Amino acid sequence: MHTEHVPDEASGDAPPLEETSFIQKLLAWDLISAVLLLTSAAGAVALANSPASGWYHDLWHASAGVSLGRIEITQSVHHWINDGLMAIFFFVVGLEIKRELLVGELASFRRALLPVVAAAGGMIFPATIFAAINWGAPSIRGWGIPMATDIAFATGCLALLGKRVIPAMSVFLVALAIADDIGSVAVIAIFYTQQIDTSSLLTGGILILFSFGLNWAGVRKTWPYAGIGLLVWWAFLQSGVHATIAGVLLAFTVPASARYVTPLFAGRLSVLLDRFVHAEDHVQPYLVNHRQQELIRHMTRECHDVEAPLQRIEHALYPVCVLFILPLFAFANSGITLQLGNIGTMLFERVTLGVIFGLLLGKQIGITLASWIAVKLKWAELPHGMTWRHVYGLSWIAAIGFTMALFIGELAFMDPGLAGNAEYIAQAKFGTFIASITAGIMGCAILRTGAIPGTADS
């Protein structure tokens, strides 16, 4: 007969309490995300160039639908991923942006100026280079492709460098990427939106205002915002404005304040812990009694109430994005068919060159030059411990455009009426792969060959 092992009372030590910083957690998740993204992209390219290529492409064109009463949505699997799951990803991006604007590196003008200026330079130069290479051709629509930084891949590369990365470098890159995301979202909303249905857009706008109203009224439950989010997503999907924008806008309505201020938490919990101790009956120390169960649930509610809905939702959805949504997006959108005889030709196509030079030259010139100007004009100063070698190395890391570049490439050339749109998308993907891989290798090499931060000026 099975008997449950009960630890000896004398050796019943609790597990150790360990603390991990936010940056360490972020780097750990993003290292996993970078590996998953790379594996997913490599798998997609392998399948697209194998005997299973027909199955791979047919999978994403298969139709899938959802019906609720009179409302019915039928889209291809590819659209469900790009318009549905990616809306969740952009919702998390919106939460990150809001948090950074309120309490992060973008919260104060002085701290935000350097990464924001660097991000602006890292968006303007790549877009300009792409536009110059594609000037006069329909492919100029893709000028937004090399603007963005893939934060998962970028911070994943930093994690590989171990002790050579100081917190200031991670913070600078994350803040730069967040500012970069703000610019990319604006570009998508303004320049890559098709025909607009004003009535659906107005409906979505009213729903967003209603969500703001819930925030103002003090609603701290998460389910009302989730329900409104589905309706906002549907309204934006019908409006012609890309549904991912709905995710970003909705994120700004999520409360960033808890039910009560954090200084009260320790006192309230201390009272409950004191009651927990007095409720101890010492009959069975490995089983709590009924009164202690009630107190545990009360303490759980207190832990829930002291955390803002924005933080709870971000904490819950971030792993979903890292482990599922982004790898699936990469797998669905990276399947470029390569013919060995045409690789040389594709390499010298305007879109390919625009993406490659936009990311590799535009990012390093734009970020480094903009940062240098801001520091020389005394608008900002380099973070403690960072040198110009670090800024230059990070400008290469920021040229990893993967996820956002693929996403904007799909939006830029999705118009069926655009001649050669399928070829443009393939060229954009090819250029993104080459540029992102090169940028990761070069950035890591530059940062790795320098002196370890804090030991010498590199």
Inter-residue contact 26 to 314 (CB < 8 Å): no
Closest CA to 428 of 458, 404, 445, 455: 404
- Report CA-CA distances (Å) from 97 to 105, 113, 140, 335: 10, 15, 29, 30
d(CA 423, CA 217): 51
Which residue is associated with the tokens 């590799």? 360
d(CA 244, CA 219): 24
Q: Say which residues have a Cβ less than 8 Å from residue 233's Cβ, sequence separation at least 6.
A: 84, 87, 243, 246, 247
d(CA 390, CA 109): 22
Delineate the domains of the chain, giving CATH numbers in brackets. Answer: 22-52+77-193+242-257+308-449 (1.20.1530.10), 261-305 (no CATH)
What are the tens digits of pLDDT across the range 254-284? 998 887 777 888 888 888 888 888 888 777 7
What are the tens digits of pLDDT across the range 296-330? 898 888 888 888 889 889 888 888 888 888 889 88
Inter-residue contact 84 to 243 (CB < 8 Å): yes
Q: How confident is residue 455, by pLDDT bands cut at 50, 70 and 90? A: very low
Inter-residue contact 366 to 176 (CB < 8 Å): no
- Quick one: what percent of the chain has pLDDT higher than 90? 26
Closest CA to 331 of 41, 29, 17: 41
Which residue is associated with the tokens 């455009």? 401
Q: What is the pLDDT of residue 110?
A: 75
Among 355-359, 435-439, 452-456, the range scoring the smallest mean pLDDT is 452-456
Given its phi and psi angles, is residue 120 left (phi above 0), alpha (psi -120 to 50 degrees) or beta?
alpha
What are the tens digits of pLDDT across the range 443-452? 999 988 765 5
Segment holding 34, helix H or strand E:
helix 22-48
Q: How many CB atoms lie within 10 A of CB 379?
A: 13
* Residue-wise DSSP of 38-90: HHHHHHHHHHHTSTTHHHHHHHHHSEEEEEETTEEEEEEHHHIIIIIIHHHHH
Query: Nearest 5°: phi and psi at 197?
Result: -95, 105
Q: How confident is residue 145, by pLDDT bands cut at 50, 70 and 90? A: very high
What are the tens digits of pLDDT across the range 17-70? 565 555 556 556 667 777 888 898 889 888 988 888 889 888 888 887 776 666
Angle between helices 22-48 and 402-412 (to 10 degrees): 50
Q: What is the pLDDT of residue 27?
A: 53
Which residue is associated with the tokens 């700004």? 252
Environment class of residue 360 by beta-carbon count within 10 Å: exposed (0-12), middle (13-18) or buried (19+)? buried
Environment class of residue 420 by beta-carbon count within 10 Å: exposed (0-12), middle (13-18) or buried (19+)? middle
Q: How confident is residue 457, by pLDDT bands cut at 50, 70 and 90? A: very low
